Amino acid sequence: MRAIWKGSISFGLINIPIALYPATRKEELRFRLLRAKDLSPVNYKRVAQADGKEVPWDEIVKGYEYEKGKFVVLKDEDFQRVDLEATQTVDIQDFVDVDEIDPMFFYKPYYLEPQKGGDKAYVLLRDTLEESKKVGIAKVIIKTRQYLAGVKAEGGVLVLELMHFAEELADTGKLHVPKKLEPKKEMDMAKALIDSMSAKWNPEKYRDDYREALMEVIEEKVEAGGKEIEEKPKPKKAPTKVIDLVSVLQQSLEKTGGAKKKTKARAKQAQQHAKKVA
C-alpha cells in the first residue's frame, strides 16, 4: 500500500509520527461513453454556458455562487489566507467514550502506521484506547481540506476514521415515523424470528451479487465477439398484496426453523458417515 499522507498524532505534549493508508477500496466497474457506430470513446469539453464556446484551462477560474447567477472569484492567494494550524498533524482535542458517539458520525476509515521513532508511543496510545474504550476526537487537514476524525484502536491497529460535523447530519425529526409499539404478540414473534436468524458476523459471506452478475454479462459479450446474446427469461414477481403481519411472521419462523433443522440433519448425517468410513 502507498501512504496518502504523512504527519503525526498530537495530544498533550506527545507527538507520534505516522503514515495514513486507505482502509477500504472500491470495486466499481468503470464504463466509458462510446459513439455507437464505431465505438470511439467520447470526451468532454469545457464549454461556457453564455456562448457555448470551448474554454481552455488557462482561462478558467474558481468561483463561489453566493446568489443565483452571481459569483465571487477565489484565487490561490485567497485559499492561502485561510490560516489553519497543524497542517501535518492529527490534533486530538478530546477523548470520548465509544458508546457516546452515534455510529452515523463515522464514514471513512484509514489505517495509521507508526514511522521511525514512533513505535513505543504508538503502542501506548493503541493499547490505552483499547483498554479504556475511548476514541480520540481530532481535526486533520488532508489535501487542503479540514476534517473531523476519530482515532480508535481496531484489531491491533490505530484507525483514523473521518467523521461528519454535527451540522452535516440530517434531522430525523422531519421523518414520518410511527411511535406506537406493535401488540405484544407481534413483538414476541418478531423477536423469535430475529433470534432464529441470528448468526456470527462473517463478512466473507456477503458478496456484491450485482457486480458479479454484471461481470458475467460482460464476459459473455466479450466471448461472443460483438454478437447478440439471447436474453435469459426473468422470473416474474408476485403482485404486492396487503399482508397479515402475524401470519407472515409465523411463516417466516417456520421457514427459518425448517432450514436450520435441515442443516443440523445434514451435519449429523455427515458425522455418521465419517465414523463409518473411519
The pLDDT value given to residue 73: 93
Q: Is residue 222 part of a domain?
A: no
The pLDDT value given to residue 265: 52
The pLDDT value given to residue 160: 97
Q: Is residue 90 part of a domain?
A: yes
CATH of the domain at 112: 2.40.290.10
Cα(76)–Cα(23) distance, integer angstroms:
31
Q: Is residue 114 part of a domain?
A: yes
Q: Is residue 239 part of a domain?
A: no
The pLDDT value given to residue 261: 55
Q: Is residue 241 part of a domain?
A: no
Q: Is residue 190 part of a domain?
A: no
Q: For the whole prediction, is pTM greater than 0.85?
A: no
The pLDDT value given to residue 114: 96
The pLDDT value given to residue 211: 85
Cα(160)–Cα(109) distance, integer angstroms:
6
Other residues' Cβ atoms within 10 Å of the Cβ of residue 49: 5
Give the structural domain span for 109. 5-26+82-168
Cα(61)–Cα(73) distance, integer angstroms:
7
The pLDDT value given to residue 86: 46
Task: Show Cβ contacts of residue 112 under 8 Å, excluding neighbours closer than 6 positions.
Answer: 9, 18, 19, 20, 21, 90, 122, 151, 157, 158, 159, 160
Q: Which residues of the chain have pLDDT under 50?
A: 86, 242, 270, 273-278
Cα(136)–Cα(160) distance, integer angstroms:
9
Is residue 229 classed as helix, strand or coil in its secondary structure?
A: coil
Number of domains in the chain: 1
The pLDDT value given to residue 128: 96
Q: Is residue 253 part of a domain?
A: no
Q: Is residue 52 part of a domain?
A: no
